[in-house]
Amino acid sequence: MIEFNHVTKKYRSQAALNDFSLSLPAGKIIGLVGENGSGKSTALKLISGLISPTKGSVTVDGEVATRRISSKVSYLSELDAYYTFYTVTETVSYYASLYSDFNKSKAEEILDYMKLDRSKKVKDLSKGNRGRLKIAVTLAREVPVILMDEPLSGLDPMVRDSIVKGLLSFMDFEKQTLIITTHEIKEIEPILDTVVLIKDGVLLKMEDVEELRIEQHVSIVEWMKQVYQDGGIDK
């Protein structure tokens, strides 16, 4: 479904990803994990077509990821990128005008689940509620690939569990793939199918999460520590 073929991405002289090759399956929830600056966000931006590789190629369903790939990819950035003078309702309407695949009734359902006040302006929302709004408009698009960069950032730990369950409720995994970067690994672990560990722009390991639990008897955090300690790199 999603292929990185010997991808190097440099910002000036610094390589965010270095000769990075990876094949991600469709219909799964995939976690990209690693330290700050490991290249996780860069990987998502490449899939979304927001940036281009310095070398190599990224394809989504056989199509090279350029700006036009937005017809197949919904991307939640770690950054806020909204018109702050819009209300929640106006923000949803704006996204509906941008994307023909935007399901407005689904967005309304997610807003109810997120308990968002539709009349409030974005500038008056708390960081946590802005995060919920971002999740709502991202999930409301009916596209094959959903990308979420730190979707739980700024959310109260008490509500993260319900938000994570919401990710499952509002996706169709016969038709959609969800790729998440997160530091809140323990909260997201129960829903992950696959985990990809990146360090310094290099793929260290990719594992089936169920296999880690059943065969290796370790959590994702324990597995990460083991891989870091062993310095293992998938070839």
Q: Is residue 152 part of a domain?
A: yes
Q: How many domains does the chain have?
A: 1
Give pLDDT, residue 235: 45
Give pLDDT, residue 8: 96
User: What residues in the chain have per-residue pLDDT under 70?
Assistant: 80-81, 231-235
Q: Is residue 235 part of a domain?
A: no
Q: What is the CATH number of the domain that holds 197?
A: 3.40.50.300
Range of the domain at 64: 2-230
Encode burial over 165-190: b for 16+ CB neighbours within 10 A, e otherwise: ebbeebbeeeebbbbbbbebeebbbe
Give pLDDT, residue 233: 57
Give pLDDT, residue 229: 83
Burial class (CB in 10 A: 0-12, 13-18, 19+), 17: buried
Give pLDDT, residue 212: 93
For 69, half-sphere exposure in the C-beta direction (CA atoms, 13 angstrom radius) is 26
The answer to whether the pTM exceeds 0.85 is yes
The C-alpha atoms of residue 206 and residue 64 are separated, in whole angstroms, by 23
Residue 61, amino acid: D
Q: Is residue 210 part of a domain?
A: yes
The C-alpha atoms of residue 212 and residue 230 are separated, in whole angstroms, by 16
